[in-house]
Structure 1
Amino acid sequence: MKKRQAYAFTFLLALFAIVAMCQYRSGEAMGNGSLQPLKTIAHVLENHGVTIRQWTVYTREYAHDIENDAAFFKKLAELKKANRAFRWSFDTNHHLKKATGTYQHPFFQEKIQLIMTVVNNQPQTYILYEVKGLNWNDEIWKEVVEKIGKKSNQLFVKQPTFFTCIQGDFSDNMKGGLFDYALHLLREFQAKPVESLQEESLVSLSAYTGQWENVLPTSSDHPMNLQLALRKRLGGTTSVVVGTPIITIEY
């Protein structure tokens, strides 16, 4: 039963993420593209004894001028030329063309994707950019900000909106229940809960904080721009994932 519930929750999370990305594409997710939320989340979690295990920064842009195969491959050639150090791969089927380039830095990885899909017999193309790492400190933060700034200027026409997410582990001496501690963390972000899910070993909250401009609507018509999840794991540890405006790391 618990396994089925976990599958159902994972499906709902993925569905919500897809809807959120579509809203971001259409301009409903607002914001100035600042990376400050990533640093704020890391600071709050580290202050609560969390060991950071993974972090991601994600953004994308609709390439409205790429409407056929010729334009797709022309753009791909431009991306490869501008990012020669990246390792590139290409996949295709009847409804999808996807080129992926990756570059592994000492402490994080960059990924660029050019994706063309067919929707209602019309091609739609997106440029996606993701940076993710397993370690975190101030030096990595400075390098990440510099790298993302340069790459964003190269890849995108407009200033992009970033989805940021951090996953980590509490020590096994975390006090109190999951829900109470989740609310405590929300207060650290000056956030108010909007929606929640509670299970025996899992708590997930959607919330709104005035610290960040990036906002998405919810099913209850309240704005949200922060998601937080706590899960108890075998061995006594508790994992935490925090994302804005949504969680983009599987948990």
Structure 2
Amino acid sequence: MRNRFILLLIIALLIPLNYIQASSLPLSEVDDIHKIIEEENLSLQEWELLIKEQVGSEQFSEVKKNIEVMFEKPLKKVKETDMMIKLQASIYANDVTESITIIIPKQDKQQFNIMYTIVGTKWNEQIEDTYNQKINSLLQRVFTENLTKFSCFTSQPDGMMNSGYLFKKLVDELNINTLSNIKENDFSVLSGYTPRWNSVIPISDEPMNVQIASRKGLGGKTTITIGTPIITNEY
């Protein structure tokens, strides 16, 4: 399963960027999932949004300046190797952590990589509105239409709920066309396509933009992870 996860993630990061599009409301997918989870009285563990892009080096000064203005703090060098320099700035507020990272390769000086991550442990309308506005501003001033975006939501059902029931609920509510459904003793992973969301990646000539994973951990507790277009954290 680990190898399958790594393969899907590599495919998603290497495919032509025009296959992945950002919606006008960057956190709309997270909100869609939260509404379904909330209907079942399930607790939120964590939600996450990842945006990344490779940018030409001629834009470095402007991008760095815009980031530091928006984050109201300087980008600090947090790591340097023979291959790259890593700059980063982070903000924590309202149970939400924002982090933006710039990776400057030493070998290829024609471009650099930007990665923005936002992770939260609470979700409500105020958080959604606040960070939709903030992310949209970031998209306008830092990123371009060539960005890639991934959303992820993690929940832990109580012992009374069968993970199969929740899978079916998500499939029905999101109108998912199932492309594959892998089931093992302690985990299962469903991959498919929903017309509800814009971001897609082509897998075997078919569009895919959602994964649902269920894993039973220590103490028999089950963790459900939903990601679009794929799950980017290991499940």
**Alignment gaps of 5+ in structure 1:** 1-8
Q: Identify the residue that residue 233 of structure 2 maps to in structure 1.
A: 249
Q: Identify the residue that residue 32 of structure 2 maps to in structure 1.
A: 40
What number of residue pairs does the alignment pair up? 234
Q: Identify the residue that residue 194 of structure 1 maps to in structure 2.
A: 179
SS in structure 1 of the partner of residue 219 of structure 2: coil
Q: For the Cα contact (< 8 Å) 2:20–2:200, is it kept in 1?
A: yes
SS in structure 1 of the partner of residue 206 of structure 2: coil
AA at the equivalent of 1:59: I
Percent identity over the alignment?
Answer: 25
Q: 1:173 aligns with which of 160, 176, 199?
A: 160
1:106 and 2:94 are equivalent in the alignment: yes
Q: 2:127 aligns with which of 136, 140, 147?
A: 140
Going from structure 1 to structure 2, the CA distance change for 1:206 and 1:28 (only over 3 Å counts) comes to: same
Deviation at 1:117, TM superposition (A): 3.2
Superposition TM-score, scaled by structure 2 size: 0.87
AA at the equivalent of 2:207: P
Residue by residue over 1:29-48, the C-alpha shift from the partner in whole angstroms, topping out at 9 and shown as x without a partner, is: 24535431111011112212
* Mapping for residues 93-132 of structure 1, pairs under 5 Å: 93-117=81-105, 123-132=110-119
Q: 2:18 aligns with which of 16, 24, 27?
A: 27
| CA distance, structure 2, for counterparts of residue 188 and residue 59 of structure 1 | 26
Going from structure 1 to structure 2, the CA distance change for 1:174 and 1:109 (only over 3 Å counts) comes to: same
The more displaced of 90-99 and 158-167 is 158-167
Q: Identify the residue that residue 77 of structure 2 maps to in structure 1.
A: 89
| CA distance, structure 2, for counterparts of residue 171 and residue 82 of structure 1 | 40
1:18 and 2:10 are equivalent in the alignment: yes
1:182 and 2:180 are equivalent in the alignment: no
Q: Identify the residue that residue 5 of structure 1 maps to in structure 2.
A: none
Q: Identify the residue that residue 208 of structure 1 maps to in structure 2.
A: 193
Q: For the Cα contact (< 8 Å) 1:76–1:99, is it kept in 2?
A: no
Deviation at 1:242, TM superposition (A): 0.4
**Alignment gaps of 5+ in structure 2:** none
Q: For the Cα contact (< 8 Å) 1:165–1:243, is it kept in 2?
A: yes
Going from structure 1 to structure 2, the CA distance change for 1:183 and 1:80 (only over 3 Å counts) comes to: same
Going from structure 1 to structure 2, the CA distance change for 1:134 and 1:89 (only over 3 Å counts) comes to: farther
Residue by residue over 1:79-136, the C-alpha shift from the partner in whole angstroms, topping out at 9 and shown as x without a partner, is: 33553336633322222222111111122011111113367x5643122211111112
Q: For the Cα contact (< 8 Å) 1:118–1:124, is it kept in 2?
A: no
Q: For the Cα contact (< 8 Å) 2:201–2:208, is it kept in 1?
A: yes
Superposition TM-score, scaled by structure 1 size: 0.82
Going from structure 1 to structure 2, the CA distance change for 1:140 and 1:72 (only over 3 Å counts) comes to: closer
Q: 1:239 aligns with which of 217, 223, 227?
A: 223
Q: For the Cα contact (< 8 Å) 2:75–2:87, is it kept in 1?
A: no
AA at the equivalent of 2:145: K
Q: For the Cα contact (< 8 Å) 1:85–1:103, is it kept in 2?
A: no
Going from structure 1 to structure 2, the CA distance change for 1:136 and 1:78 (only over 3 Å counts) comes to: closer
CA root-mean-square deviation: 2.6
